[in-house]
Structure 1
Amino acid sequence: MTDVATLLEIAGAAAGAGGLGYAKVRAPRVYWSLVGLPVTWGRFTLTYRSTMDVCGLTVQPSGLRAFMTRNVARREVRPVPPKVRRVSGTSTGLKVSLRLPAGLEPADVVASSERLRHAWGVRSVTVLESRPGVVELRMTGYDVLKRVKMPRPPRNSGPMMVPVALREDGTVFVRDYRQVPMALTLGSNQSGKSMYQRNLVAGLARLPVGLVGIDCKRGVEQRPYAPRLSALATTPEAAGQLLDALVVEMEARFDLLADHGVSDLWALPDAVRPVPLVVLIDEVSELFLVAAKKDEAARDQMVMQLVRLGQMARAIGIYLEVCGQRFGSELGRGATMLRAQLTGRVVHRVNDKQTAEMGLGDIAPDAVTAVTMIAPDRPGVAVAGDTSGGWSRIRTPEITPDEAAAVCRTYASLTPHLSFLAPFRPAVRAVPLPEDARPHVAPRPVTE
């Protein structure tokens, strides 16, 4: 009987170990909640003071505190680390709120984030300033970007907010057009840039907005979205005419704002508010490059219209989403002026450091190195930055072109029919039925 009990205990232990091993690979959230979180929390609690000391995140105590420690407590005066205010576990990591002592600033903690990551054995450490003197450490226990699983979107999301990707700290990267109206997305071939665009289009298709596509590669990328597009330009000539029409509409909308005495589209009454428009430019360099000198005048006119939209169109609800492999001054006059209007920046894997600097060097210089370290076998991984200087690694969930096109067909009823875009409305092709759905017997007409 004792041998049987022993065998059962061994079998149970082996099964438990095997289950944890399986969960670590296939269900990392479960493994983190059962094993990783308690271990990391304990390691953080036991080694916090010594880790902060060796990472240079301690300061000498004040004179009064040193006097009380030396003469009342009869202890050795030691440097003071940031005070831990709150520790909480999440399904992906650990959150720690720290009160910084006098002499430390958030930049000091950011500079030591890599050392803290290795000391506590976590995947990443992100530092956020919640308010003056208080920072939050967001530790990620495992690689959440290995298999992206987007959480359920909140119910109270705004009218122009699209969840696009997952951040490295487990939070959702949201494309909020009211906060960041214009954006630039860069990336080389096979970097996941098209995947980012498909997720963006699939999210926008569900919103009551108008989508305007500019794809000078004969529409190979954006034509599948035709049921949800209010306009589509597939050549530089058509793109120039479309941009002229958008500028005319912009001026008409400014007149509408002036008549109602407001300065923003969202301040208008619902009954008279025009539908917001998102202009999706697939490869921006095709709008700048010309083959003959006689085409330069048309190119300059098109670039000028783009710059005007980038400078003023936010107030009247026209937003730019510009994508390309490279976007520098070598494209021609107006390139850097247009890039300066694009607040949001998302840079995927690039072929050279200069391209990363074009996207992020002027707003988040520290992120340039992170872009050059993106592995070729991780398509969809990118670095997102903004004008505040902050940046984060993100990865978009996998979505096929057929899935994105199916979403556009499902929400085709939301496509606004705008008269000024009628000449550019793409033709919607009928989707052929699969072989097993076609009738095997030819139908005969019914006669009386």
Structure 2
Amino acid sequence: MSLLVITAVILGVALLLRWQRPAWYWLSFGVVGAGVRVLVRYASVMDACGLTVAPSRLRLGLARLTRTAVPTSRVPRILAVRVTRSGLVLRVKLRPGQDAFDFMASTDRLRHSFTMQGVTCRELRAGVVELRMTGYDVLRRVQMPARFAASLLRVPVALRDDGEVHYRDWRQVPHALNIGAVGSGKSVYQRRLVSELAAQPVALVGIDCKNGVELAPLARRFSALADNPDDAAALLEALLGRMAGIYDVIRREQRISADVPDGEITADIWGLPVHLRPVPVVLLVDEVAELALFANTTEKKRRDRIITALVRLVQLGRAAGIYVEVCGQRFGSDLGDGITLMRAQLTGRTAHRVNDQASAKMAFGDIADDAVLATTMIPTNRPGTAVTGDSSGGWVTIRTPHTTLRQAVNTCNAHAHLTPDLTELAPWRPALPTAVAPTSTAPVSLVKPRPVTD
């Protein structure tokens, strides 16, 4: 086989991998070229981006005494280089006088200089930063890794633009808001949450006022489900009753005295003994605007009951093991009293593609202005792409892998035996039809008979 044929085969394999399996292409071909570019251009790029420091006075003095050339500026030192399935990770030691913000402000210039897909920077400790570079567009075709670091109430839901897995951790961020326009991937994100929680020992409670079209197919894994505002109001009040009962258990088990060790004093369910610890509950509210709108006095009273109950749950539910996930197209003060008070308690924020800037401000306007701009720039041809962050102001772009309704239904049905039976929520337990065995094995004709005419 000639050298030309071998070269053509290798080139064809590389192009095929780049199109179908970008991660494999990166690990087999792309990482070599990228590594060489980064290491060869490193000093010149740092100098061009203004990330070098002038030589010290000691070095300048020694150069004068020895009559040697004036020393050049010093570049930050690379401590380690690590290859990942999506790019390179550089750990850099800062020079005296440098700040991590200088690198964060230069990430876009570093991306162009090193010819990489993206560059992000974060500070590991004082004087050390981590530059995470992605070699290809990891959000174009989302491929989740085979292994996850999942745990109780911590599930992988999406892939971040830096190649890392994005987790939804209710223990760390108990309540969250998820907004997005029609067709933006908001419902797929919700399906992903339910699918990953289905295998865990938690109770799922749903409120879907679109007659249950989103959550009713997953009902075999739900301990309670309400598909209209009247049932939602009663269900939320039942959850408040469950929360009050759990607080009584916690208060009874505290027994704070001088002879009780500090480790046995608790203010939430996670410090209770295992045999007393109640099942954690994750409440998913789909299309929250349907709960806040009203047309007459009766509906207004019901609306006030619902919003009051939701506000109390997001304020007090965490210690009782009740976590709230609110979804909707809009979530602002135009929905009435109590909405902004509730939003202030929703620490996690996820915004898919929105139709106007005001909707993006409802999610991130009070915590990160640059996240608002990133949300408005989400393209329409990438459903599932979202900007997620929390009240600390940090945010990142993610994309949820496409999860069909059939896949979510199969997952929930496979784990239906894990559905807890909560006494307080028994009236809202979904009534599931039982399969009826066929009475005859004879084939049924689908042809409509026609009368015989003369």
The two structures have a TM-score, normalised by structure 1, of 0.92
Q: Aligned pair in 2 of structure 1 residues 73, 429: CA closer, same or farther (>3 Å)?
A: farther
Amino acid at match of 1:224: P
Give the structure 2 partner of residue 255 of structure 1.
248
Q: Is the 8 A contact 1:153 1:163 kept in 2?
A: no
Given candidates 361, 378, 401, the residue that maps to 1:397 is 401
Query: Contact between 2:150 and 2:156, CA under 8 Å: does it hold in 1?
Result: no
Among 73, 77, 87, the alignment partner of 1:79 is 73
Which residue number in structure 2 is paired with residue 446 of structure 1?
none
RMSD: 2.0
Cα separation, partners in 2 of 1:207 and 1:72, compared to 1, 3 Å: farther
Deviation, 1:432, is: 8.7
1:151 aligns to what SS in structure 2?
coil
In structure 2, list runs of 5 or more residues that go unmatched: 255-265, 445-454
**1:395 is matched by which residue type in structure 2?**
R
- 1:121 matched to 2:121? The reply is no
The residue that corresponds to 1:224 in the other structure is 217
Q: Distance in 1 between matches of 2:247 and 2:196?
A: 28
1:45 paired with 2:39, answer yes
User: Cα gap change, 1:268/1:236 in structure 2, threshold over 3 Å: closer, same or farther?
Assistant: same
- Gaps of at least 5 residues in structure 1 are 443-448
Distance 1:48 1:216, change over 3 A: same
Question: Match of 1:116, as an amino acid?
Answer: L
Partner residue, 1:316: 320
5 Å matches for 1:201-280?
201-261=194-254, 262-280=266-284
SS of structure 2 residue aligned to 1:214: strand
Cα offset, 1:426, TM superposition: 1.1
Structure 2 SS opposite 1:311 = helix
Partner of 2:412: 408
CA 247–27 in structure 1, closer or farther in 2 if over 3 Å, else same: same
The secondary structure found in structure 1 opposite 2:231 is helix
Moved more, 41-50 or 319-328: 41-50
Q: Kindly state the Cα deviation for residue 69 of structure 1 after the two structures are TM-superposed.
A: 5.3
Instruction: Give the letter for the 1:254 counterpart.
Output: Y
Per the TM alignment, residue 59 of structure 1 is displaced from its structure 2 partner at its CA by: 3.1
Cα displacement string for residues 129-172 of structure 1 (whole angstroms, at most 9, x for unaligned residues): 21122111110100111111111234x63211111111111111
| Correspondence 1:304 to 2:292 | no
Instruction: Indicate which of 92, 97, 111 corresponds to 2:105.
Output: 111
Q: CA deviation at 1:72?
A: 5.2
Q: SS state of the match for residue 366, structure 1?
A: helix
Equivalent residues in 2 for 1:82-231 (5 A)?
82-154=76-148, 157-231=150-224
Q: Quick one: which amino acid aligns to residue 423 of structure 1?
A: P
Q: Which amino acid counterpart does residue 174 of structure 2 have in structure 1?
A: P
What displacement does 1:30 show? Answer: 2.1
Q: 1:279 to 1:13 in 2, by over 3 A?
A: same
Shift of the 256–236 alpha-carbon distance from structure 1 to 2, 3 Å rule, reads same
| SS of residue matched to 2:240 | helix
- Say if 2:367 and 2:392, in contact at 8 Å, map to a contact too: yes
Is the alpha carbon distance of 1:66 and 1:252 closer, same or farther for their aligned partners in structure 2, counting shifts above 3 Å?
Answer: farther
Tell me the amino acid that sits aligned with residue 350 of structure 1: V
Specify the code of the residue in structure 2 equivalent to 1:256. V
Aligned residue-pair number = 432
CA distance in 2, matches of 1:288, 1:18: 57
The aligned counterpart of 2:257 is none
Q: Distance in 1 between matches of 2:303 and 2:235?
A: 13
Q: Deviations over 1:339-394 (max 9, x none)?
A: 11111111111111121121122222222221111110101111111223221111
TM-score (norm 2): 0.91
